[in-house]
Structure 1
Amino acid sequence: MNYKLRRVTNEDVEDFLTWKYGGIYSFFDNDFSQGKIDYVKSFPNDNNVFSVYSDKNELVGNCAIYLSDKVTFSVQLRPSLTSKGLGKEFLTSILNFIKERYNLKTIGLSVLKFNERAIRLYKSLDFKVTNEFIGKTVKGEMEFLAMEKEL
């Protein structure tokens, strides 16, 4: 499948706000807290947040780029598409887009330590663990891994 990234629309946001992951992954539901809802609603105003569409023009995910001394990113895949073997191609498309648009040599991310399926995906794409830390979340302090990859 070929994925395309484009600016987030208000219609995309309305769709994102319905995404529910279930089980331990319900932590990532987009309506989990008012803070999360407000964050998702801000996407159309951020030039570094993108919707991800399939080659059939279906909204399948989103990606946010955070520009600071180390450039990092976050992604979401539509809940109904998780655990179907799509992650590697989905993430590779996003990484290629980021590399071209931002002209980067490396990219980083932070992942909750309990999110083993995401960690497996990142490692399969040559992300390396660079640090472990405790970070603040809407559920209190939690354990994270910092990971980085050469582009």
Structure 2
Amino acid sequence: MGRMIVEPINRLVASKISSWKYSEPYDFYNMNDDAGMDELLNGTYFKVHEDEMLVGYCCFGKSAIVPIGLQFGAYPENGTVDVGLGMRPDLTGQGRGYVFVSSILEFAMAEYNSNHFRLTVAQFNKRAIALYEKLGFKPIMVFPMGDVEFLTMERRIC
């Protein structure tokens, strides 16, 4: 497992991703097929693959935030690039996360000419939080959305 490839998404891949079904408690990441397709094709989403195998997707900017977080001040304009990502449900928990997220961050550094990144993750997703900390992200703030609390994390490399 070396580096994964990040490339623009197309309709076929968007269709596959929008039909992914995560099990509880991650099921709130499931997309409504039609709305999910529109979102995935808005120009800010990319596919992530390894040897032609679709591993996941990523997105940047406004697509990567949890909108309700804006009212809590979770997304200050501080030159930080917001990054969103999702791994194919049947590939989670297999030790691919580090290479997956590292590949996305390498792509984002080149694409956005930045070393400042912010992720938003559900507080209960301890596995993802541990991975993001291993990659140098620090917890910034927590905000609620219904029954779920979200954590923003930043990585700033000078």
The structural deviation recorded for 1:126 is 1.2
The structural deviation recorded for 1:141 is 5.2
> Alpha-carbon deviations, 1:11-38, whole Å to 9, x = none?
011101221111211121223xx7xx41
Supply the distance in 2 between the matched residues of 1:128 and 1:45 (Cα, whole angstroms): 29
Supply the distance in 2 between the matched residues of 1:116 and 1:80 (Cα, whole angstroms): 18
The TM-score normalised by the length of structure 2 is 0.81
**Is 1:145 the equivalent of 2:151?**
yes
SS in 1 for 2:21: coil
Do 1:61 and 1:76's aligned partners in 2 also have CA atoms closer than 8 Å?
A: yes
Do 2:15 and 2:37's aligned partners in 1 also have CA atoms closer than 8 Å?
A: no
Aligned to 1:52: 48
Question: Matches of residues 90-101 of structure 1 in structure 2 within 5 Å?
Answer: 90-101=100-111
> Alpha-carbon deviations, 1:14-68, whole Å to 9, x = none?
101221111211121223xx7xx4144332231x2111111x1111110010168
> Alpha-carbon deviations, 1:102-138, whole Å to 9, x = none?
011210011111111111111111110011222x3xx
**Is 1:62 the equivalent of 2:57?**
yes
Aligned AA for 1:125? L
Please, which runs of 5 or more residues in structure 2 have no aligned partner?
Answer: 63-74
Aligned to 2:93: 83
**Is 1:117 the equivalent of 2:121?**
no
Aligned to 2:115: 105
The structural deviation recorded for 1:78 is 0.5
RMSD: 1.8
Residue-pair matches, total: 141
Aligned to 2:27: 26
Aligned AA for 2:87? L
Please, which runs of 5 or more residues in structure 1 have no aligned partner?
Answer: none
> Alpha-carbon deviations, 1:66-101, whole Å to 9, x = none?
168232111000011100000001100000110111
Supply the distance in 1 between the matched residues of 2:135 and 2:57 (Cα, whole angstroms): 19
